Structure 1
Amino acid sequence: MSSPLFKEPIAYEKIPTRIFTDPREASKSVAHEIAELIKLKQREGKSCVLGLATGSSPKTVYAELIRLHREEGLSFKNVVSFNLDEYYPMEPDAIQSYWRFMKEQLFDHVDIPKENYFIPLGDIPQSQIEDFCKSYEAKIDSLGGLDFQLLGIGGNGHIGFNEPGSLINSKTRLMMLDHSTRAAAVMDFGGELIKVPKKAITMGVSKILQAKRVVLLAWGERKAGMIADAVEGSVSEHNPSSYLQSHGNVLFVVDTAAASELKRMKSPWLVEDVTWDSQMTKKAVCSLALDLKKPILKLTNKDYNDNGLSDLLAGYGQAYEINIEVFNQLQHSISGWPGGKPNADDTNRPERALPERKRVIIFSPHPDDDIISMGGTFQRLVDQGHEVHVAYQTSGNIAVSDDEAIRFIDFVVDFNRQFGINNDETTKIFEDAKSFLLNKKDSELDTAEVRHVKGLIRKGEAKNTCRFVGIPVENAHFMNMPFYETGQVQKAPLGKKDIEITKELIEKIKPHQIYAAGDLADPHGTHKVCLDAIMDAVKELKHKNFMKDCWVWLYRGAWAEWEIHEIEMAVPMSPDQVIQKRLGIFKHQSQKDGVVFQGSDAREFWQRAEERNATTAELYNKLGLAEYQAMEAFVRWKY
């Protein structure tokens, strides 16, 4: 098991925080701590009272606890658990119910007695909630309190459903949910905000703080701001997680993305001695220039000395020497030839000149990530004569609304009737799918027929984008990776079949370039699984002769962009190319005018992409380089 980064305490951090490069390893470390506590209580002949959380963050913790039960004999017979919260109103068998979540993610797979786990009831009359909440807390107190409380954190800093404004002495109660919380949960409710409950029953802050041990988990860049505020900022009701500063036995366990706004990650030279290699120097100089609002070439010796960078300055002697080195690095990352420029000196270019015509695979986790994330580069590669293939890794069917599916079904059925096309079997499939959708209950998953219809919609839109950009339809590959086809937001783990499908395509095309989504801030985790499949496939194939000439470039998605110092290739876009990319995104009609899985950002994907690309170009300009309308950014993965 890999060790966390920076294990020793950081003086100005008010909450102990361990940073892991891999969330899976972080989750395992937490699961093992829980397991040791359970076993300690067993040896003492006592119950182990756990406070448990729901959401995406603890899933891997529960998976590891299940593995420990099955493979290493960890027993849960002495465990008593209390969950933090539940939506209100909510039937316990509904897909979105935390009762159902806990049973599927943990309880049904271990030997915990059914009478030993407690979750707030979302289906009791509102008149009974106050008494229920009092009895819930009394039950915890009767067992001596919580031995261990596992927490996640919301994008607005909530713990449990204690939204901003909750007081430190708040009790278990019915809580109105913040709009951002409901927007972030919309993916679990068919993409319709109106279906997301406006209330929830939540354990209060005071009861959480009474736990003997508290561990909070956070993964991804979307949590970074609140993590930094909780760990380094002041205690405030505006960020309820900051109340944990007052707890004597608390630990934040985060990945590098969630830790990215901490000072030790953003400005490590202010925390400890660093090795001033090229990457660290570039990071420090870009940060300094942006903080001071000065172009890199105007930074002075005084700027370095006054801002904690005297060690870096001493190594070079003069600011000018540092400035010109970093400026050149940034300048060399800009290229309008993402496939390499023919008949050019490629010494200082991000891509090789040869071969002049490259075979390229753009891996797209969903059927629109290619055009949203790197549409300008996609078009450039095609226009510059490369053989471009797009590999759509998943069907994307869960991101199609029920209304959109019904509209599509009506068109197909009406078309067949209009032109006398009689195919009873096909007609029945579509009619059965429509009947299901019209009568669909909250507790029901889409049928195979409905998923097929929704997948056809996404497939057609992806083909339309390829035609728009200018690649033949046969260069569009629909992989339908099995891990995705569960019919629900929760996906299966990456499997051997997923990796084999990826390997087969790479071996078939023998690419000189692979583009893959390195966007790990994707709220439903599909990008991470798809990237893992590519990385595993590449590692298994790297001994092949054709792979010795294959470079892998990582792009980001609709939620975040690479930091300026990380970028190794920046492809500029003119105003006309920005409009061209927007029109390509518009080909995905099912994803317009009400995105199903947009997270808390209400903008459409084309708006997010344009803002992100414009911001990247603006950063280059602020650092003293040429001014472009927009830029798409890439980082090379050297396997």
Structure 2
Amino acid sequence: METHTRSKAITHQPAGQFEETRFEKIHNVIFEDSRQGSQLVAQEIADLIRQRAASGQKCVLGLATGSSPIKVYEELVRMHREEGLSFKNVATFNLDEYHPMERNNIQSYHYFMHQHLFDHVDIDPLNVNVPDGMVPLEEVKEYCRSYEGKIEEAGGLDFQLLGIGRTGHIGFNEPGSHLNSATRDITLDHITRVDAAPAFKGLDNVPRKAITMGIGTIRKAKRIVLLAWGQNKSEVVKETIEGEISSEVPATYLQEHGNTTFVLDKEAAAQLTRIDTPWLVRTCDWNEDLTHKAVVWLSTKKDKPVLQLTDKDYNESGMSDLLSSEQSSYDINIKTFNRLQHTITGWPGGKPNAGDTNRPERAKPARKRVIIFSPHPDDDVISMGGTFDRLVAQGHEVHIAYQTSGNIAVADHEAIKVAEVANSMDQDGLFSQVIRDIQEKTSEDYDSELVRKVKGNIRRAESLGATRFLGIPDSQVHFLDLPFYETGTIKKNPLGEADVEIMNNIIKEIKPHQIYAAGDLADPHGTHRVCLEALFESLKDLREKPFMTDCWVWLYRGAWHEWDIHEIEMAVPMSPEQVLRKRKAIFYHQTQKDGVMFQGEDLREFWVRAEDRNKDTAKKYQQLGLASYAAMEAFVRYHF
């Protein structure tokens, strides 16, 4: 590989022919998951380090923080330990740092970089450069000039690693940043602060300012690789790769850099035109799923029910090749309508004594054993409370398995309130200690083990209130407390064997005919993703068990997103009365109402989000020409 050219390991992935990528203005490659992409990026960095070392030169890296590059750093550390990759010839310059921010603060990027990379490799500490978050305000401008000077003295950046924020920021270059901006202090966008809020245990604790390399500084790098993972990044990725260059989306400035590659997982790439609507850029191989997706898209685009679409509508929208002498628009419309119709069922556990050819679930056995896996102690009712209610009412044996305690989402004032009530009735001093632990905790401290236990028990009590309301015996409610979560911090441990073994045990115990699980990979703090991976690993372990041949897995979405209509394989209608019952079940989770810790940018309460999402799904079905319902919950089947 030539220095500063794109890595063969990355570019061998087909990006498509010119016609297929004509909307795209930045080279990009798409991987099945972030691990595969991260490993190949790490390999490119390692090759560059070795090549520079072989010629007696220093390798100058620009580094990013946040969740996106973590797996890259893990792989570099592995290569250092197992393959002898040396960092002795490496100098690094980090993109940014909060201001003010002390180096030893667990939220600082200085702390992050040492935790994930510097403390585990043989880099010379004198070659490590992270912006100083404690520079006095009156000295910031001069400090930033000196940071620029250090980069120039080092010979400029050989390689710049980037992530991307939902505002389109790279580094902390927020909307409005100038093309030629240099290292400087900047005021953070509200959305950026909202995204950081979980790590800081609340928006109010997130700094409002930062020091960042400028766009001009970044663009001087000889090679740039930007990482983007997950559904939350898909919109800004499309806007950056396909949109016009604009200061409102600073990452679009990279369109003018001649050696930039975006490395994406399939979720982050999902809205690119060649992925989302390929019929707009090329002739398609029309299978059933792609046809279904395209017709639903066309119906929405034309604002017509599916059965009213015409040949003209297809021809005007790049779908003329879907029509043939053997298949008219009428035939395609009927097939699409029927497929949508067959996803709708009021019997999520299957309808007894009924033909199930055109139903999403089997009729037999009439009474099914069901496990609803809930990553946090409220996801079950927020995401599928109506379906949960139906399953119980229709006589199925429903088990709820809460995968984590959810203790970090309980605010301190809620824990103090409970402790004060308990303390007024218990004189042994235990709850006085809880109150002291909370009151003496600083912004940098973690909750004590005792406080975590109290917060976890609060959420258990709330969960039991909701499950009792929906008619579940306490014996069918399971609190798994998966170990990966129980760190007491926002940062969780990797999924481990102990987590999977707990999942294995409950599945083996219940031998379910149905499993429901959260398929929401856009969860802001990642717990849903790890909980889903735990289930997938468990299914791999248990797939040969005889009882698993009769087990179906249905995935629901969480509070942030819903499945696209063309993806939905089971849609469960809800009456107005069921909408109210679901709302009441959510209300039992009192600590997660009224200004919760992990609100996200959407200021609506979770119950409002859930209702609006369910009503929107029903409205979309109606607009496609299907029956009108008050609300609908949606599921996709996972085939293991």
1:316 positional shift: 4.2
Aligned to 2:23: 12
1:373 positional shift: 0.6
1:433 positional shift: 3.0
Segment drifting more, 23-32 vs 271-280? 271-280
Kindly provide the amino acid, as one letter, of the partner of residue 378 in structure 1.
F
Aligned length: 629
In 2, distance between residues paired with 1:390 and 1:606? 19
Aligned to 2:536: 535
Aligned to 2:514: 513
1:84 positional shift: 0.7
1:275 positional shift: 2.2
1:7 positional shift: 5.6
In 2, distance between residues paired with 1:316 and 1:304? 15
- 8 Å CA contact retained: 1:17, 1:252: yes
- 8 Å CA contact retained: 1:93, 1:443: no
Runs of at least 5 residues in structure 1 that lack an aligned partner in the other structure:
418-423
Pair 330,413 (structure 1): closer, same or farther in 2 beyond 3 Å = same
Displacement over 6 Å in runs of 4+: none
CA-based RMSD of the aligned residues comes to 1.4
Superposition map of 1:232-381 within 5 A: 232-314=242-324, 316-381=326-391
Aligned to 2:572: 571
Q: Does 1:389 align with 2:390?
A: no
Q: Does 1:526 align with 2:527?
A: yes
Pair 502,179 (structure 1): closer, same or farther in 2 beyond 3 Å = same
| Deviation by residue 1:496-551 (Cα, 9 ceiling, x = unmatched) | 11110000000000000000111000011111111111111111111111111000
In 2, distance between residues paired with 1:228 and 1:364? 31
1:94 aligns with one of 96, 105, 110: 105
1:572 positional shift: 0.7
| Deviation by residue 1:481-505 (Cα, 9 ceiling, x = unmatched) | 0111111111111101111000000
Aligned to 2:459: 458
Pair 44,316 (structure 1): closer, same or farther in 2 beyond 3 Å = farther
Aligned to 1:467: 468
Q: Does 1:212 align with 2:217?
A: no
1:350 positional shift: 0.1
In 1, distance between residues paired with 2:125 and 2:475? 54
| Deviation by residue 1:270-328 (Cα, 9 ceiling, x = unmatched) | 23333211111100000011001011000011111111111111274310000000100
Kindly provide the amino acid, as one letter, of the partner of residue 228 in structure 2.
A
- 8 Å CA contact retained: 1:359, 1:513: yes
In 2, distance between residues paired with 1:42 and 1:409? 60
Kindly provide the amino acid, as one letter, of the partner of residue 501 in structure 1.
I
1:444 positional shift: 1.5
SS at match of 1:156: coil
Q: Does 1:437 align with 2:447?
A: no
SS at match of 1:482: coil
In 2, distance between residues paired with 1:4 and 1:574? 48
Report sequence identity in percent: 59
In 1, distance between residues paired with 2:451 and 2:273? 48
Kindly provide the amino acid, as one letter, of the partner of residue 251 in structure 1.
T
| Deviation by residue 1:56-111 (Cα, 9 ceiling, x = unmatched) | 11111111111111121111111111111111111111121111111111111111
| Deviation by residue 1:10-46 (Cα, 9 ceiling, x = unmatched) | 2220001111121111111111111111111111111
Q: Does 1:22 align with 2:37?
A: no
- 8 Å CA contact retained: 2:229, 2:264: yes
1:155 positional shift: 1.0
Aligned to 2:47: 36
1:599 positional shift: 2.0
SS at match of 1:90: coil
| Deviation by residue 1:400-446 (Cα, 9 ceiling, x = unmatched) | 111211112112111224xxxxxx4xx33x33332222122222222
1:358 positional shift: 0.2
Pair 432,77 (structure 1): closer, same or farther in 2 beyond 3 Å = farther
SS at match of 1:461: helix
In 2, distance between residues paired with 1:4 and 1:492? 31
In 2, distance between residues paired with 1:283 and 1:5? 23
SS at match of 1:483: coil
- 8 Å CA contact retained: 1:228, 1:262: yes
Pair 251,354 (structure 1): closer, same or farther in 2 beyond 3 Å = same
In 1, distance between residues paired with 2:614 and 2:412? 32
Aligned to 1:58: 69
Runs of at least 5 residues in structure 2 that lack an aligned partner in the other structure:
1-8
2:211 aligns with one of 201, 204, 220: 201
Aligned to 1:110: 121
SS at match of 1:188: coil
In 1, distance between residues paired with 2:322 and 2:375? 41
In 2, distance between residues paired with 1:71 and 1:384? 56
In 2, distance between residues paired with 1:121 and 1:280? 51
Kindly provide the amino acid, as one letter, of the partner of residue 313 in structure 1.
L
Aligned to 1:486: 487
- 8 Å CA contact retained: 1:382, 1:470: yes
- 8 Å CA contact retained: 2:377, 2:406: yes
TM-score, structure 1 normalization: 0.96
- 8 Å CA contact retained: 1:94, 1:442: no
TM-score, structure 2 normalization: 0.96
- 8 Å CA contact retained: 1:484, 1:491: yes
Aligned to 1:228: 238
In 2, distance between residues paired with 1:454 and 1:40? 52
- 8 Å CA contact retained: 1:5, 1:20: no
- 8 Å CA contact retained: 2:283, 2:321: no
Aligned to 1:448: 449
In 2, distance between residues paired with 1:411 and 1:24? 47
Q: Does 1:584 align with 2:585?
A: yes
SS at match of 1:350: coil
SS at match of 1:416: coil
2:416 aligns with one of 392, 399, 406: 406
Aligned to 1:161: 172
Q: Does 1:72 align with 2:83?
A: yes
Pair 538,290 (structure 1): closer, same or farther in 2 beyond 3 Å = same
In 2, distance between residues paired with 1:97 and 1:27? 23
In 2, distance between residues paired with 1:315 and 1:221? 39
Kindly provide the amino acid, as one letter, of the partner of residue 635 in structure 2.
F
| Deviation by residue 1:380-401 (Cα, 9 ceiling, x = unmatched) | 1011110000110011111111
Aligned to 1:557: 558
Aligned to 2:4: none
Aligned to 1:189: 200
